[in-house]
Chain A
Amino acid sequence: MTRLFPSLRTAAAVAAATALLFTSTGCDVDLALLSGSPEPYNFPAGDPSDPYYVEPANIYQMDLQSLADAANNVPAATLKGLYVGNPADIATDTVILYLHGNANSMNAFWNALRHMANLGGRHRYGVMCYDYRGFGNSEGPSTGTASMRQDLYAALQWLKDRGLTSDRLVVFGNSLGTLPGAQEAGEQGGPLKIDKLVLECPQSNADAFFQDAVGLSVPSSLATDYAFDVDGNMARYPGALLWMHGMDDDVAPIDNAKNLYAAHQGRFKRAHLLAGVGHNIRGGWGAQNWGDAILDFVARVD
């Protein structure tokens, strides 16, 4: 019996340490998905001969107030936003709201933003982007579907307050940005309705995302509470959809994303499945092709 004591003591110590671990840590995989880094913003206008040149007066940075969602334990936060265009024209312009992918901040997407602003002519479209909580210099952290929803609402409210109406809104989700974009397209609970949605290299749903990494039929809740569901939301979305995906994408597998396209039964949909292209659509397909596809979609479903 006395021989048992050392192992019992060890087992008790292990149990205590494990209990402490359970109660004192809250590791969540969404920490990998939902956090950028603070950095100085840098949005250079470029050279006037540049096809994507932006007038310095049309680079407008603002603070957005993302409201609290007490029911989901989400506090209020101040976000950093960017509008490429003249905010005074929002009441009449078509505006592309760009939901960026997983990077430190919206700095990484400046070339795409200024390109979109110049699709079909110099400053033809207004383009808005913002950093989610925990990205760039926005207050953080992002914690999942609820905080991402509140942040998107803040951007939509800012646009609505300046006269934007739902019929002139295009929402563009890139990679991580497809999660809040598709979520709101399925829910339609925000200040503006989404009727034109672009999904660029979207994920499918949290379980598939995690199972690709693990290999077993494990639910994502074993590692995260961020239960995103792009394909489920696409099944509920009645508006127009443009889906662009590289067939060599090793971040968001195209075979998974095909399910969201199949699920969508809205008024219009178009897909560009790109051979030889990875997760960077604009770089892999070519900026011209990328811009043409967006321009065609926006014009076609207007």
Chain B
Amino acid sequence: MKHKNLLLGLAAAALLTGCNAARVVAPLDAGEWRVGGALGGPQINTDRLPLISVYTAHGATEKRTDYVGLQVVSAAFQTLHLDAGSLRRVSAGGGVGSWKPEVNAFGGGTLLVGLRDGATRIYPNAGLHTVWSLPLGFKPYAGTDLWVDPTYRLAEFSQGTLLHPNLHGGLRWIGKHLEAGVEAKWLNPTRTFMVPQQTVPTFMDTGARGLYFTLAYRIP
């Protein structure tokens, strides 16, 4: 029964606000492509749900990177789930070993289209990554990702809310050909999530907590 009911948790998690690792945290080199995937999700009971997404990113300029991703688990539930956005360097950091972080802003949105009935939702989002540079290509970062629910008035029983914040922190390693990362996320600390017959562990008694792993291939 437990694993059967986790199916609901999986579907819910796949569509949860910001339930994904950051596609990119700093601009790619101009002209570079990066193709990767992310594995991970929020904790339900003691399990971490295995959400899978794939993405590609392109360094449009030295300061701007565009990206698009596809949530694979949502596809299994007959829902097209795409995210796309652009990240731009706001201020350069102090370089390797400096305490002064690079600050990057990003904005974009998530598109959901249900293949059962064509139901469509779009959720814009925007946020910041503050990124430090360490030797050997390691980049610790922290940031926020604010989702907007423009159709919050369509939520049942007036329980929708316009803004859904998320906080995250992680570590990326960027090598010559590969990028790998791990990211922890505090999902929507403004509310609690209720998955029937499951426990959604919170952080500081609110929201949900997620853990994600990323791996990408760099194409110069």
Q: What residues make up the interface of A, taking CB atoms closer than 8 Å to B? A: 3-4, 6-7, 10-11, 14, 17-18, 21-22, 25-29, 31-33, 35, 37, 102-104, 204-205, 207-219, 221-225, 250-253, 255-256, 259
Contacts and interface: CB of A to CB of B under 8 A. Distances in A.
Interface stretch (B91-99, B101-109, B137-145, B192-200): B192-200
B130 interface: no
Contacts of A33: 8
Interface string B184-220: 0000100101111100000000000000000000011
Given A32-B5, A209-B196, A223 B79 contact: yes
Contact of B193 (A207, A212, A223): A212
A222 B77 contact: yes
A30 to B, nearest CB: 9
A104 B12 CA distance: 23
A205 B154 CA distance: 14
A7 B76 contact: no
A204 B117 CA distance: 21
Contact of B54 (A14, A31, A35, A216): A14
Given A7-B35, A27-B76, A213 B8 contact: yes
B83 interface: no
A208 B157 contact: yes
24 contacts: A6-B35, A11-B56, A14-B54, A18-B70, A18-B72, A22-B78, A29-B77, A32-B7, A104-B1, A204-B157, A208-B156, A212-B159, A213-B8, A214-B12, A215-B17, A215-B164, A216-B123, A216-B152, A217-B121, A217-B152, A219-B117, A222-B114, A251-B196, A255-B157
A11 B34 CA distance: 11
A213 B197 contact: no
Interface of B: 1, 4-9, 11-12, 15-17, 31, 33, 35, 54, 56, 70, 72, 74-80, 112, 114-117, 119, 121, 123, 147, 149, 151-157, 159-160, 164, 188, 191, 193-197, 219-220
A250 B194 contact: yes
Contacts of A4: 33
A215 B1 contact: no
Given A32-B8, A218-B112, A222-B114, 19 more contacts: A6-B219, A7-B56, A22-B75, A22-B78, A25-B76, A26-B78, A27-B7, A27-B78, A31-B4, A204-B157, A213-B8, A213-B194, A216-B121, A216-B147, A216-B160, A218-B121, A221-B117, A223-B11, A253-B194
Contact of B196 (A14, A17, A252): A252
B56 A10 contact: yes
